[in-house]
């Protein structure tokens, strides 16, 4: 299948303001892009692209006084298959993990393993290591939390989420991946497009989505604690230790968000 994705994000600014954006499709999906991904600005300003330490594509620009509109669009080929389910995937001993994966066992800004390790082991210590353990974690988080945009807060950590029992997709991902790290399973945060493909359409305005990946049997596997079912049409944009590493935009000065529109939809052949 082919999926059309894109966004339009507008900010107001009183004075020229440097920005870093993370709005490109992830390099792991470059070969799936039909033609070229286009990211433009209005007014037109130069964007310099670079890769961050996690391999994500970032853009640097200066928003002019008055503000800026960021627009992106791409057509992406997709298998049309749901997220793979691999029940036999195994948890590797820490001494067998690649050096660059060890980072995803460590605490990070929103994922305080030190505060949740005792809780994690009390909840999941008797589960079978590997895929069954991760599935038990995802099932617990999915059942423990209530989803609602009114529960969103940019400073909320995994420990806060566990205590409050509510959050948005990033909170579901933060709590689940923190529990995984507590159980010595490397886990990283993911952000990207996830349209209503193969599921009933959600009437709420579309947003970018947050999920997570775990490292089992030598590769990364996708899990989604909010939806807790394999989904079709997931298009990765960025990965990191947690949401702090994959901020869509970072401004170095005061800017006010005035428009936020995201699309991700299957292209139906004529």
Long-range own/partner contacts, residues 36-40 (CB < 8 A, 24 or more apart) = 36/74, 37/72, 37/73, 37/74, 38/71, 38/72, 38/73, 38/74, 39/70, 39/71, 39/72, 40/70, 40/71, 40/72
Residue 193's pLDDT is: 98
Domain topology for 2-80+248-266: Immunoglobulin-like (2.60.40)
Give the three-class secondary structure for 139.
helix
Q: What are the sequence ranges of the domains in the chain?
A: 2-80+248-266, 94-236
Could you give the CA distance from residue 155 to residue 147 in angstroms, rounded to a whole number?
17
Query: What is the pTM (predicted TM-score) of this model?
Result: 0.95
List C-alpha distances in Å: 217 to 28, 35, 132, 173, 184: 19, 34, 13, 21, 14
Per run of 10 residues, the mean pLDDT along the chain (length 270 residues) is 98 98 98 97 98 98 98 98 98 98 97 98 98 98 93 91 96 98 98 96 91 98 97 98 97 97 92
Class for the domain spanning 94-236: alpha beta
């Amino acid at each position: 299948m082919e999926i059309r994705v894109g966004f339009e994000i507008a900010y107001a600014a009183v004075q020229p303001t440097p920005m870093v954006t993370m709005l490109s499709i992830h390099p792991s999906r470059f070969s799936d892009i039909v033609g070229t991904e286009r990211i433009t600005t209005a007014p037109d300003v130069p964007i310099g692209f670079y890769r961050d330490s996690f391999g994500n594509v970032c853009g640097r620009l200066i928003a002019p006084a008055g503000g800026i509109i960021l627009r992106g669009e791409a057509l992406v080929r997709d298998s049309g298959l749901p997220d793979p389910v691999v029940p036999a995937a195994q948890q590797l001993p820490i001494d067998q993990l690649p050096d660059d994966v060890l980072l995803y066992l460590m605490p990070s800004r929103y994922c305080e393993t030190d505060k949740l390790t005792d809780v994690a082991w009390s909840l999941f210590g008797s589960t079978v290591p590997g895929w069954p353990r991760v599935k038990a974690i995802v099932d617990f988080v999915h059942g423990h939390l209530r989803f609602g945009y009114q529960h969103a807060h940019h400073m909320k950590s995994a420990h806060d989420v566990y205590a409050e029992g509510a959050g948005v997709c990033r909170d579901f991902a933060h709590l689940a991946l923190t529990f995984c790290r507590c159980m010595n399973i490397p886990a990283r945060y993911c952000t990207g497009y996830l349209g209503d493909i193969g599921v009933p359409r959600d009437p709420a305005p579309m947003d970018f989505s947050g999920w997570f990946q775990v490292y089992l049997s030598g590769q990364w596997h996708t899990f989604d604690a909010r939806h807790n079912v394999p989904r079709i049409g997931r298009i990765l944009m960025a990965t990191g230790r947690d949401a702090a590493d994959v901020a869509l935009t970072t401004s170095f000065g005061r800017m006010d968000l005035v428009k936020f529109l995201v699309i991700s939809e299957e292209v139906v052949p004529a």
